[in-house]
Structure 1
């Protein structure tokens, strides 16, 4: 799938490169276009779901094989970073969501505002937060711990927050989500740690496979998520005006959190790699967690429009953070020669 997308995106990427637009963003846009024209459905969608899970599992296996045990332990001990990310995810975001109530019913209909508030109560993403942190040369070990912790705590915190600020008729969140996180993220990571003594050196010397899995997993998430929206007809449930207003609200929300996490991390005295981790882990919202939670917490008749803000926000955050990650990567590459000269 990734190879096909890459070949289809080459002509577009060449044009966008002249316009100084990142090729990876071109790949994401091409993926969205393919999902719009040829969305996966039925058995094909199920197959893509399985492939996505395998890609994410492989991603964490490679991270485990690449990271030394000392780096992993240091990532777990970085409590100030984890608290900062959790505050952004479960305090800053909900406050911004509550503040957005002034936009309803004037700019946002009641279901759309409910969806905006719901997305603000969700945990952070895992795979894309870590992938973008890796691309941007951030603290990957801390990102793994922080994003996974956010996702695990979200299984409990999100339903509690929803119960506090929204009316729901669902029975609660199934514990199977916890098992999915353990099987898909923690088990491959531990397996990679155990296999590090045999393959760790190879993974360190050959970064290309890790980059392919980084970017490939993000493209698979984009395709499967957008395909699901297309097949369920979510995009046809409202007119163009409200849709554009919702896109604007999502953009402003993401910009506010990116600015707050970046500026706040700098004020708190975090190092550059940690600031990158805080920004990427603290500004994301998980579509993978949000969709199943919404189906449990809300009535089926209203789920479509409630999850629409989350689906839009998810696509916007991937595109924006892809550009930011590559920008930070270029900055890190430009700084390395100077650092080496200083050491010499």
Structure 2
């Protein structure tokens, strides 16, 4: 009895540790989504919410059974509920795969998920066994994720455009496929040893029933990878935002300098026109000439005829004692240097 209690305590602590880990991932993914606006983190956040609900549901179920609470617990209903959780999580897995492939979700991606759900329901309804169903359910669901990983690699080889995160995505999918395969092997080992009566084997099977070592080890590795990747993307997003902010400040500074230069040049033009006793219209035309405007452009801007513009320019040339625009510019530059 004491040994069973120790086992139960270990399982409870084990489950709580995973719930804490999942909460950490959700917190990191939520913040990364706000910073980067990358839907990948949104799907990760939802997926780990489902994993927490599933883990809490399983934990509560085991606790109620262990304490003999007297509640009317239907085991088949429990496993069917976990099928529903897998269906929701499977939809998020599919969306994550599509996001990593940078393409729309394909109906074929749902094939392994739907197949697992159907097989799972059939097993729970017609072949339920208190000691075998939990291992069957875990193994068949991990097999579905393994097939989804194969689909990812098939479509990844066909894509032409590569993204900067493809290398990381490929590694994550490879790790996922590896641990899902190991989880399936664990299930095979469990069923192979199930009929052995050795005390040591039965003790091992009792742990294998409630703990999927490969699946749980994968959850830890995946969680740490997500946290690391989220931190990397946050750093990149923060650096980009800082660069945008600095560029905005630089643009504001350059605009301010330009405004000061324009104001300074305008005051110099005013002084130049006053020095050479230009009329108001001559001053307006001179300002446009200094900007490089042609006669037709000056006429259009001031709503006067080209002939009038030529007449005023002739008057300006006469006052400055020049006969070309280049000479006019030279006189103005000398005036600026003197001032």
Q: TM-score, normalised by structure 2?
A: 0.28
Choose 1 or 2 for highest CA Rg.
2
